[in-house]
Structure 1
Amino acid sequence: MKSKNSCAPYAFRAVQTDTYRLRTVQNDHTAMKNKNILQSMRHAFDGMQAAWKAERNFREYAAIYAIFFVLNLMLGASVTEFLIGFGLVCGVFSAEYLNTALERLIDTRFPEICEDNKFIKDTAAAGVFIVSIAFFLSQGLILLPKLLEVIACVF
């Protein structure tokens, strides 16, 4: 049973962005299937490019990661420490891609404001937040002792 404030379903509306031309396909589920792995990879890169252009968060996360990458290089992080940071950054970007896709779907398919839409968007954003916190905590645990060591040598 739907809640009192739930959204009524709307017919699918095709959305056009700079990178994508979506079309409505009825009863033909194979029309949008990738023919091979190269086409699948091309579509993945198209999605990455579209999200990079459309979402400020991707550019901000990339800048933050670049700063931490340089700090890790300068402070002599081990390969394992680099891999931990890289894995968590991949997690942040993956969560952000899913969040972006869900937000776009909600905004285009169910444009009205309601509690269900807010819940979906907020919980997707919470997933990004949790992985981001894990990245920052891991980088703090990795870099703080190294920074304190450098400061102790200077003073």
Structure 2
Amino acid sequence: MKNKPFSIRERIKSFSYAFNGLRLFFISEHNGRIHLVAAVVAIALSFYLHLSTFEWIAILSVIAAVLIAEILNTSVEKLADLVSTDIHPKIKIVKDLAAAAVLIAVILALAVGCFIFIPKLF
């Protein structure tokens, strides 16, 4: 396979595909909107509490981790549904594993949020 020459136009197009993916995610996925609201609340609280640079890094990192995990989970679910609409035990395992990744990211985000926000609020 021959590589295509570098193209600024193609790089810009790839960004448009990524932004379209984000738009689709937030428009069509209930969990995506829930995570977005939680992220906005966490960011607003971070401004209100005047977090340090390292606290900001922690908060933004776990927000990104949750969104990345949820987007990948959604991608796995969409692909699995395309492969088979029937209930299949192996597809259920794949979907459950992807959901578990989101759960771990959310637990981490909650822990980081508690460590940072609770002492500042009380």
Tell me if both proteins adopt one fold, taking TM over 0.5 as the criterion: yes
Mapping of 1:22-41 within 5 angstroms? 36-41=10-15
C-alpha distance in 2, partners of 1:93/1:67?
A: 14
In 2, Cα distance between equivalents of 1:94 and 1:100: 10
1:78 is aligned with what amino acid? S
In structure 1, the residue matched to 2:96 is: 122
Query: Deviation of residue 76 (structure 1)?
Result: 2.0
Count of aligned residue pairs for this structure pair: 116
Equivalent in the alignment of 2:65: 91
Greater RCO (Cα-Cα under 8 Å, separation 6 or more): 1
- Structure 1 position 36, deviation (Å): 2.1
Instruction: For 1:93 and 1:72, locate their aligned partners in 2 and report how far apart those are by CA, in whole Å.
Output: 18
In the alignment, the residues of structure 1 paired with residue 57 and residue 116 of structure 2 have an alpha-carbon distance, to the nearest angstrom, of 12
Larger radius of gyration: 1
Moved over 6 A (4+): none
Letter in 2 for 1:53: I
**Which residues in structure 2 correspond to 1:68-107 (within 5 Å)?**
68-107=42-81
User: How large is the Cα RMSD of the aligned pairs?
Assistant: 1.7
Q: Percent same amino acid among aligned pairs? A: 29
The code of the aligned residue for 1:48 comes to: L
Give the TM-score, by structure 2 length.
0.88
Query: Where does structure 1 lack aligned partners over 5 or more consecutive residues?
Result: 1-29, 149-155
Q: Out of 81, 87, 92, which is 1:113 matched to?
A: 87
For 1:117, the aligned partner's letter is: I
Tell me by how many angstroms 1:82 deviates: 1.0
- TM-score (norm: length of structure 1): 0.70
| AA of the residue aligned to 1:64 | A
> Which secondary structure does the structure 2 equivalent of 1:76 belong to?
coil
Give, in angstroms, the shift of residue 44 of structure 1.
0.7
**Which has a greater percent of helix?**
2
* Residue aligned with 1:112, SS: coil
Q: Which runs of 5+ in 2 are unaligned?
A: none
